[in-house]
Amino acid sequence: KRTAIVAFAARFPRLYSAPAPFHNPGMSGYYKKSVQNGWFSESEVMWPGQKMSLQMASEIPKECILYEAKSDFQEVLVFKSKTYGTVLVLDGVIQLTERDEFAYQEMIVHLPMFAHPNPRRVLIVGGGDGGVLREVARHDCVTLIDMCEIDPVVCDVAKKFFSDSTATSFGDARLNLVHDDAAKFVKQEENLKKYDVIIVDSSDPVKNGGKQL
């Protein structure tokens, strides 16, 4: 559900601020409208006439909502589904499920990585759930992984709720994790012409018609 391009085009509106505390509000706010009769349905529809829905692990929201908060950048929701494991939702759009996230992560990473004869220095734009990082870290030839994720809440949520799936490589010694505007980060003099591979794992521009890009 996310834009997968090996190039850099994303511009982000705001800079780092402290992450929201972890809590389990039991559908106290934003996502009430997305949950009905034990099903979660996306609230942002990119393609008219269709949207993704998943059955939740329980018809009682407070029993399967693991996290709900609004960061400085987006609405964040984590819930347990009946058949797809734990699910991450950003701004009303499903980003990943534990059951099938590997298909996205492996394709966005290994195609560009194997296309390069010796990818040693890699930049990941976005990717706060850690899945792209996990796959990049499988390549022993890599000596540096810069990861620029503007929203620290996404990383914190991934480490807490996806520690056995996507968020397994945040402790890799090659990782330099930065919470910043990636458009500004890549323009810093020390980063110009620095990378062999750049992988953009950013959310689809569902708001403002993509004007934030």
Is residue 27 within 8 Å of residue 79, measured between CB atoms?
A: no
Q: Which residue among 164, 181, 201, 204 is the active-site one?
A: 201
Side-by-side strand order, sheet with 53-55: 35-36, 39-41, 53-55
Residue partners of 14: CB distance under 8 A and separation at least 6: 72, 73, 150, 181
Q: HSE, CB side, 13 Å, CA atoms: give it for residue 180.
A: 14
Query: 53 pairs with which residues across the strands?
Result: 41
146 is catalytic: no
Q: HSE, CB side, 13 Å, CA atoms: give it for residue 181.
A: 11
Is residue 108 within 8 Å of residue 132, measured between CB atoms?
A: yes
Total number of residues shown for the chain: 213
Is residue 40 within 8 Å of residue 87, measured between CB atoms?
A: yes
8-state DSSP, 22: P
Helix (H, G, I), strand (E, B) or coil at 184: helix
Q: For the chain, how are helix, strand and coil distributed in percent, rounded to 5?
A: 25, 25, 50
Active-site positions? 201
